[in-house]
Each structure stands twice: as structure tokens, then as C-alpha cells.
Amino acid sequence: MTKSISAASILMLTTALAAPALMGSAARAQTPPPPPATTATPGQPNDQQLETTPQDVQSNTPGASERATQPVEGPVEISGPGAGGGDDVIVIQGQYIPEPVRASSEVVNVLSAADIARSGDGDIGSALQRVTGLSLVGGRFVYVRGLGERYSLALLNGLPLPSPEPLRRVVPLDIFPTSVIASSVVQKSYSVAYPGEFGGGVINLTTPAIPEESFLTIGGAVGANSETTMSNGYTYFGSDLDFLGFDDGSRDVPGALSGLLDRGYGGRNANVSTAELQAATASLNNASTSLIQFNDDIPFNGAADISFGTAIDVGSDRLGIIGTVGWDNSWQTRGGNEQFVTGLSTTLDGGDALIAANGEDFRFLETNNRVVLNGLLGLAYEFGEHKIRWTNLYIRDTLKESRISIGTDAINVDPDRLLNRSRTSWFERQLFDTQVVAEFEFGDFSADFRGTYANTQRESPYERSFSYEFDESIQADFDPTAVPALVDLGYSDPVRVDGAWVNDLRSNGQNAFIAFSDLNEDIYAGAADFAYALPTARDITLSAGVAYSQTKRDSERLNFQYRSNQVLPSQIAQLRPDFLLSDYNVYNYGITLRENFEEVTRYDAQLDVLGVYGQIEIEPVDFVRAAIGVRYETAEQTVDTFDQDGGAGTGGAAQLVNTRLENDYFLPAATLTWNFAEDMQIRLAASKTIARPQFRELAPQQYLDNETNRTFIGNQFLEDSELFNAEARYEWYPSEDDRVSLAGFYKEIDNPIEAVALIQGQTFFTTFANAPKARLFGGEAEVQKYFPLYDWGLEGNFFDGRNLVLVANYTYTNSDVEVGADDQVRAVGSGELINASTYFIDGQPLVGQSDHLVNVQIGLEDEDSLSQQTLLVNYASDRITSRFSSINSDLERVAIPFYEEPGVQLDFVARQGFTIRGVALEAKFEARNLLGTQYKEIQTYEGSRIDRNVFDPGQTYTLGIGVNF
């Protein structure tokens, strides 16, 4: 007997069944860190070899010079601007102040290899969120004290890196596995040896160099997520090599279409025949890139890596070789609500509320397969007091996405029409960096020369999307055995379907798109730093340097829409995506690609920066150090944008907008350190810095960010931001393992760049605009304490030789945008002056800023062997992700921004070393998000709420093992 059921009910039911399968995070193999390694950042070589305790970090921080008070074990090597030059040593009280901290004139936090291992994080971005005042946004970008990632400068061995992200100039730090990083230094006060783009802080990643002894480590891990692994999700085939993060050529642009593009297809007068256009349309790879399939057993996560290193004595010289290779394959399924509205609606009682029925209201499910490959090869040569390093880094980060969402779109279609939207994507991000650092020391004089070439690429071929509409007037028979979820519910007999999903490729809400995008960025950079220690009674070091960098980016995105030149029969419109766009339909129903190019299809961008600095570091009285300097920086930034349509109706691309920013700045900085008591010191710092708009923020090219599922567009009228920074910090080191610090900070920002959401036509965009002014202030507190358990009388087999470790830090930040009644800003698109209150509401916090950040680590560590058990708690309070405002019923403009609620994250990590037949091994267990905290991005207004993006990431469990030879 035939039962009657709605086709919409079938698809929504299967989606709902799959929706709980959410987010499987990456499982990265963790192995013991390599032996202490050489580090490098901008600046000078060491002026002498000093000694410190084994607990001191092998790291490097600009502005630091090597100083110690008494001989202890283990040399520390630090390289930074203004350091070195002579044998004079500033007198410092206290043997327990860590060498990198006591040596630096600036406010720094050091994340050592031991710190990273304790947290168990697989990438450096996740590890850095444990540092005081740092938060991780979107799992990828590190914010310092709530300031956006544009205010955070990331360097590798003191040299700049390009970003594979089209929306950002800053490299996402989650692409750096912890296995290729020896240490990380976070500097929060500005030093003139650094580039002038310094807002919240600089993060300098240091790669390993010369190991103390040879090592070989092989590791592997397997991971599972409670909402993803062996659960429901979506996949599509793609190509045979997708599991390695490479395409086998299946996604290449076919020759037929490439030939049309070379001839100017997309231009209004391009001479392209219908036959040529049909041939190009039919040549596109179809089923393997468009057909999404239900998968009820998403695989486990897996990872493997190998690291090796050796040191070779060449007479009295020393040659070091270090290499790492890693592979990580992880799965993440997310399912939940996705809504947004264009503004406030009037309720029945005459009030105002956010109502999803007046906007977009979808239930979505997506599965992402992420593959990360990384490789590092470093060579270092030490001869006498000199050292040369050559570091090569390769990272490839590939993301494969399958997504289906069901709901209504009252903004672009109709609130009464049910839509089924699907999307398949493939993103290839690749980073290559080669750099040489040469450090020379000649008594009181030292010199450091650095050079790098870095290239990043991002390709996204075959970004496909389909939109079907539910037509209730169609009836058909349906076999439920074709849907596993329905079989599980007991459906086996044929059912009569009341309604069908249709796509005629012509109607509003019924369409198909395909896009190809390509980004390439090159960085050429070089610097020279010099330092001279004057032969005076008081220690005085003069330092100076020059740096030049050139960044070039080319970005292109071509978006096509499939259109039919005749009305498709109902039977054809009901076909699944790959059948709908089959060769048969292309030739028999006139389906062809039509250019759907936005206003800007390509932009070419370049940034040239020349900086010169001078600094004096002096000891005016005992236990007091002062560093005073100024940097002069001149820069030219251009973004040229082009339209494939030709603008004036000619074939080929025509230039549309030419953005040019040329500015010179004098950027002073001063830091005073007073070591006023045993193992205690106070630092005071003040500086002026800048923040430039990023290329993508200046280019008015539309771009869909798949992570947030929102469309971005740049604003070519942005200007530089200027900052004033001040900080005071108290530090106490009661023992070699313990520390306490308190800090206060204040910032003023002129013309801060903020993300703004707005409606243009019927499209919801996120763009960028300069606010008139902003200020930020706050405080930090940090404590680290080791408690020997034998002091508490806890002795036994398990507690023998163990310490209880407590690490906790808290950051409070308050920020607000200041908007006066007469303040004006440049309008997005037109550039005309408009009231600043159109985009900004006075008193609102900066985008990305959380008022409260808390990190707590509670663990047990064995003093005599590798055995650690650590509980980690991370909390970040609500933060704005994008600004949005509307007019209420009282005709007042009110803020209804998008808020992210990170909430509380509870993790557990255990590491245990052991030996089998003389071979050293390490086992590691990770349990992440034990509280099951949801991801929430929402809008609220007077009790009403819209779920912009809400899903359950689930809990992730990973077991890994490493073998050390």
C-alpha cells in the first residue's frame, strides 16, 4: 500500500538525523620536543655565552641581550635588536628571573617547547591561547588583548610571512604544527626594531636549529569525535588523491573554458558562439564535484609525523641539521541553525524584535575533510662567535567541504518557499618560506643580516552551489530504501510524495553556480641590524638597523551561473545536480555558462615598506634599565581592481579602481625596567605604532567565506590607523619554577578599522570601515606555582617525585568606539562623507574583544620521568564578530551586532614516557571540549534572539604514540 509523505519532510528528516554529527577536530601526533635549539629573530647575535638553569627557555626575543648573575647549568642563546656588543653586564638581582625575561627590555611572554607539550595542542594557534591576554578566534587567528588579528604581527624567526587567506594579510597560526616550532615569544610592548604595524603585540615563532645531540622521532595518532566519527555526514568524491590533500587534475579548468576566458569571455562584446559556449559548459567535471552523498560512517582522524636532527663537529665549528615531515587528516561535521535578518520588525504589541521569518532561516549540515602536510628543513653552522642559519618551511592545508541546508529566504526569494541549498568546495592553501639569518660578533660590535623569500597560494577550483525550490503541486512515487536514514526508521514500502524539489535554472531561488578563484602572494624581505657596546662605566648599547619588505598579491575570482535558454520540463528540473547539468541536457536544452562576475573579478596589490631605526639601551643607575628609540617608516600600498566585463563594454579586463596609500611615520618607543627587589621587577612602556588596512579589506571584490557562510566585500576608501600604547607590569619570580605578574595597559586608536554588516540591494554583506576613534584599557594577572606533593605528606608509588602544577591567568579588557555627533566617515562603495553613526554606535566595544579571558592549568608532573596529567580550562566572554545597526520603532538607530559566545572549554591531556627493550616511547591521550560547549554566534535585542551560526562541536578524543631513537 502506498503511503503519502511530503518530499520536504523526507529531506528535512534525513538532515535532522544527520545534524547531530558535528565537528571532528584535528588529531595531531605529538612527540617529545627536540632537544634545545638555536633561535633567531630580528637583531643582533649574542655578545657572550651565558649560563642559566635547565628550566630556562631556548627562545629569542627582539630587544633582548644575554645577561646573568651567576653561573648555572645550560647555555641560553638569545638574538635580538640592540643586543650584544661587549662584555659589560647589567646587574640584575634575583637568580630565578628566566633568562628570556630578564634579558629583554620589553614586556614578553615565552611559550617554551615544554609549555606546548604540557597543553598537548597540535598547532601553535591553539597553544598560544594559553598565554595571558591571548584569545583564539575561529580556531585560527590569535587576538592579543581583544584586538583584532590585524593588530597582531606574526613572524617566523623574526621575518615576515605571507598569508594564504584571501581575507587577511596575517597568517592563520593553526597551520603551524607544534612539531616545527621550538618556541614562541609574545611581545606586548613595542620595540623600534620591529615593523611599525604593531597594535596588540608581536608573535615570533622560532624553528629548531642545532640540536645538542642526534635524535629521530616517529609518531602517530588516531582521533574520534562524538558528533562526527562513524556518524552521519555528507561527502562528495572529488578526485583520487584528495586524502593526501592534492587534486589529481580532475579540478583543472578544462581547455575549452580556458580558451574562452583567454579570448575575453565575460566581456559584453566578446565574440563567443553558442556552440563554443556549450562545449565549454559540457567540458566541466560534473558528478565527482557536484554530487553530495549521505555518509553514515565518517572516518576517524589520523596523523603521522617524523622528526630528525643531528649535529656534526667540523673541527672547532658545528653543523646542525633538523628536519620534520607531518601529515594530518581530520574530519569535522557541523549541523545546526543559521539565521539572519535585515533589521528590526514590529511585534503585535508594538515593540521591536528580531524575527527569523523576515530574513533567512536555515537548518544546515556540513562535513569538512581537512588535510595538512608540513615539512621543515633547517641547516645551521656555528664558527667561533658567528652563526648562519638556513630554514626552509613548507605547509599545505587543504579543505574539502560538502554542505546542505534547508529553510526559507525572505530577503532574496519568498518567506513561503522552502529551499534546498547545497555546496561543494575545495580549498588548497600552500605556504613556502626560505630564509637565511647570519649573526656575526666582533667583540663590542655585532651585526645581524636577514633575508627571506616566501610564497603563498590559495586555489579554489570548482566551488559549486545549487538551490532547489520545493514545489507542492508535483506528485511522484518515492523509494525510501534509497535513503539509509529512512530505512533505519522502518520505511520500506514505496511512498507517494506530495511535492518535489525543482531547479529550472531560471527562477528566483532555483539556480546553479560554479566559481574558480586563485590567489598568489610573494614576500621579499631583508634587514640588517647593528649594535655597539660603548666602553663606559655604565652599560650603554647603541643599536640601529634598516629593513625593507615588498609584498605582492594577485587575486582572481570568476563566478559563472548555469542558465537555460528554454523552459526545462518538470522531469528535467527534478533531476539531481549531476544529472541536471549532464551533457545531454546541456546540448538539448541550451544550458550554458553565463558570466556572473561581480563588479570586481581581479585585484593586484602591492605593499612596499622601508624602515630605519635607532635605539639606545642604558643603565642609568644600578638595577634600572632604559631602552629608548625611534623608527622611521615609509610605505606605499596599492590595490588595483579589474572587471572581466571590461567596464566600458570591451572584451577583456579593464581597471576600475586604483587605491593608493602613501604615508611616512616617526614611531618612538621607550621602556623602563626597575629590578627593585630580589626576583622582582617593574616595567613601564610607551610607544606609537600603526595598523594598515589589509589588501582584501581594500579590494571591492565579493568573496564567500565558507567558515562563517557570509559574503565579504572590501572598501577601497580605508585609511591607516594610528595607535598610542602604554603599559605597566609587575613581575615576581619567587623560585625557578614559580612566577606572579600583574599588568595594566591602555591604548588609543585613531581611525580603527572595524568589520561592518550591511545590506546592499538584496545581498547581505560584511565589509570594513574606519571608525573615528577607539580606546582600550585593561589589566592582566598571571600565576604559576609548583607544589611538591611530598611536602604535603603524599608519598606512594604514584605520588613519589610528583609536583602539583597550577598555571592561571586572567585578562580584563574594556574597549569602546567613540563617535561624536559631528564625526563623519567614508561611505562603503561611494566614498562620500556620511555621519559616522550610520555604521557605528558610540560606546560599543571593538570587534573581537572579549571583556574576560581566563586560562587555568592544573596538573601533575613527575620530576624524574616523563609523566604529566593536565586539566585545562579556557574561558572567553562574549565578543562582537561584526557590527550591524537598524532603526527601531522610535526612529532611533540602535546596535544589533553579531556576538560570538566562546564559553568554557574543558580539556584533559596526559603524557607518559616508557621504554620497551631500550627504546624510548611516549604515549599521549587528549580529551577536548569535555563540557560539550556549543559554538554560538547570535544576535539579540530586547529578549529576541537570532541564531546566526549555532552548532554542537562535540567532544574529541585522541590517542597518539611516539618513538624516540
For 787, 868, 908, the CA distances from 858, given in Å and listed in that order, are: 11, 10, 10
Lowest-confidence segment of 131-140, 239-248, 607-616 by average pLDDT: 131-140
When mean pLDDT is compared over 523-532, 711-720, 845-854, the highest value belongs to 523-532
> What's the rounded mean pLDDT across residues 134-142?
60
For 88, 367, 866, the CA distances from 231, given in Å and listed in that order, are: 65, 11, 35
Question: Do the domain assignments include residue 249?
Answer: no
Q: Which amino acid is at 730?
A: Y
pLDDT tens digit string along 71-119? 333 333 333 333 443 333 334 455 556 555 555 556 566 665 556 555 5
**What band does 755 get if pLDDT is binned at 50, 70 and 90?**
confident
Bridge-partner residues for 824, per DSSP?
Answer: 835
Cβ atoms of residues 109 and 144 within 8 Å: no
Residue 246: the pLDDT is: 94
Phi first, then psi: give them for residue 134, nearest 5 degrees: -105, 140
**Choice between 622 and 546, residue whose per-residue pLDDT is larger:** 546
Residue 399: the pLDDT is: 94
User: Exposed, middle or buried: residue 580 (CB in 10 Å: 0-12, 13-18, 19+)?
Assistant: buried
pLDDT tens digit string along 410-446? 888 888 899 999 999 999 989 899 999 998 999 999 9
Residues 6+ apart with CB under 8 A from 258: none
Instruction: Give the Cβ contact number of residue 535 at 10 Å.
Output: 10
Q: How far apart are CA 454 and CA 164, in angstroms?
A: 11
What does the mean pLDDT of the chain come to? 80
Please report the DSSP string for 878-895 in residue order.
-EEEEB-EEE-TTS-EEE
Q: How far apart are CA 524 and CA 451, in angstroms?
A: 8
> What's the rounded mean pLDDT across residues 109-134?
59
**Choice between 36 and 660, residue whose per-residue pLDDT is larger:** 660
Residue 6: the pLDDT is: 45
Q: Which amino acid is at 225?
A: N
Q: How far apart are CA 87 and CA 602, in angstroms?
A: 56
pLDDT tens digit string along 718-752? 999 999 999 999 989 888 778 899 999 999 999 99
**What band does 381 get if pLDDT is binned at 50, 70 and 90?**
very high
Instruction: Give the Cβ contact number of residue 821 at 10 Å.
Output: 8
> What's the rounded mean pLDDT across residues 346-370?
88
**Choice between 19 and 358, residue whose per-residue pLDDT is larger:** 358
Cβ atoms of residues 80 and 117 within 8 Å: no
Residue 152: the pLDDT is: 72
Instruction: Give the Cβ contact number of residue 129 at 10 Å.
Output: 23
Q: How far apart are CA 449 and CA 45, in angstroms?
A: 10
Cβ atoms of residues 100 and 57 within 8 Å: yes
Phi first, then psi: give them for residue 262, nearest 5 degrees: -65, -30
Lowest-confidence segment of 150-159, 476-485, 878-887, 954-963 by average pLDDT: 476-485
Domain harbouring 423, CATH code: 2.40.170.20
Residues 6+ apart with CB under 8 A from 547: 42, 195, 525, 526, 527, 528, 609, 610, 611
pLDDT tens digit string along 56-73? 322 332 232 332 233 333
Q: Return the SS3 of 668.
A: strand
Residues 6+ apart with CB under 8 A from 489: 13
| Triad 440, 153, 141: Cα angle to 5° | 135
Question: Do the domain assignments include residue 872?
Answer: yes
Q: Return the SS3 of 119.
A: helix
pLDDT tens digit string along 458-471? 999 999 999 999 99
Residue 505 has pLDDT above 90, yes or no: yes
> What's the rounded mean pLDDT across residues 339-344?
84
DSSP state of 19: T
For 693, 698, 737, 770, 837, the CA distances from 834, given in Å and listed in that order, are: 20, 19, 56, 12, 8
Question: Do the domain assignments include residue 924?
Answer: yes
Question: Do the domain assignments include residue 458?
Answer: yes
**Choice between 145 and 26, residue whose per-residue pLDDT is larger:** 145
When mean pLDDT is compared over 208-222, 660-674, 875-889, the highest value belongs to 660-674
Number of separate domains in the chain? 1
Q: If residue 926 lies in a helix (H) or strand (E), which one and from where to where?
A: strand 919-928
Cβ atoms of residues 77 and 38 within 8 Å: yes
**What band does 578 get if pLDDT is binned at 50, 70 and 90?**
very high
Q: For residue 893, what is its C-alpha cell?
A: 538607530
When mean pLDDT is compared over 154-158, 247-251, 342-346, 655-659, the highest value belongs to 247-251
Residue 655: the pLDDT is: 57
Q: For residue 309, what is its C-alpha cell?
A: 636532527
Measured in whole angstroms, the distance separating CA 105 from the mean position of its chain's CA atoms is: 29
Q: How far apart are CA 645 and CA 266, in angstroms?
A: 5
> What's the rounded mean pLDDT across residues 592-614?
86
Phi first, then psi: give them for residue 579, nearest 5 degrees: -70, -35
**Choice between 965 and 647, residue whose per-residue pLDDT is larger:** 965
Output helix, strand, coil percentages for the chain, rounded to the nearest 5. 10, 55, 35
| Triad 787, 791, 792: Cα angle to 5° | 90
**Choice between 262 and 626, residue whose per-residue pLDDT is larger:** 626
Question: Do the domain assignments include residue 130?
Answer: yes
Q: For residue 858, what is its C-alpha cell?
A: 592544573
Residue 113: the pLDDT is: 58
Bridge-partner residues for 186, per DSSP?
Answer: 109, 203
**What band does 874 get if pLDDT is binned at 50, 70 and 90?**
confident
Residue 13 has pLDDT above 50, yes or no: no
Residue 556 has pLDDT above 50, yes or no: yes
Question: Do the domain assignments include residue 241?
Answer: no
Q: Return the SS3 of 823.
A: coil
Q: How far apart are CA 783 and CA 808, in angstroms?
A: 5
pTM of the full predicted structure? Answer: 0.83
Residue 488: the pLDDT is: 64
**What band does 3 get if pLDDT is binned at 50, 70 and 90?**
very low
pLDDT tens digit string along 796-808? 777 778 889 898 9
Residue 585 has pLDDT above 60, yes or no: yes
Q: Return the SS3 of 566.
A: coil
Q: How far apart are CA 461 and CA 251, in angstroms?
A: 6
Question: Do the domain assignments include residue 261?
Answer: no
Cβ atoms of residues 796 and 789 within 8 Å: no
Taking alpha carbons only, the member of 223, 244, 435 closest to residue 331 is: 223
Question: Percent of the chain having pLDDT more than 90?
Answer: 41
Question: Do the domain assignments include residue 537?
Answer: yes
**What band does 882 get if pLDDT is binned at 50, 70 and 90?**
confident
Residue 703: the pLDDT is: 75
Q: How far apart are CA 647 and CA 179, in angstroms?
A: 49
For 67, 74, 327, 672, 782, the CA distances from 93, given in Å and listed in that order, are: 11, 20, 47, 16, 21
DSSP state of 581: T
Q: How far apart are the first and last CA of the chain?
A: 69
Rounded to the nearest 10 degrees, how much is the dihedral formed by the CA atoms of 557, 560, 561, 563? 170
Residue 49 is part of which domain span?
3-233+291-964
pLDDT tens digit string along 191-201? 899 899 887 77
**What band does 964 get if pLDDT is binned at 50, 70 and 90?**
confident
Residue 531: the pLDDT is: 93
Q: How far apart are CA 66 and CA 56, in angstroms?
A: 12
**Choice between 777 and 757, residue whose per-residue pLDDT is larger:** 777
Residue 157: the pLDDT is: 82
Q: For residue 238, what is its C-alpha cell?
A: 572529488
Please report the DSSP string for 591-612 in residue order.
EEEEE---S-SEEEEEEEEEEE
**E strands, 503-623, in order:** 511-533, 540-564, 591-595, 602-618
Q: How far apart are CA 309 and CA 621, in angstroms?
A: 45
Residue 107: the pLDDT is: 59
Question: Percent of the chain having pLDDT more than 70?
Answer: 78
**What band does 55 get if pLDDT is binned at 50, 70 and 90?**
very low
Instruction: Give the Cβ contact number of residue 49 at 10 Å.
Output: 10
**What band does 407 get if pLDDT is binned at 50, 70 and 90?**
very high
Residue 319 has pLDDT above 50, yes or no: yes
Residue 682: the pLDDT is: 93
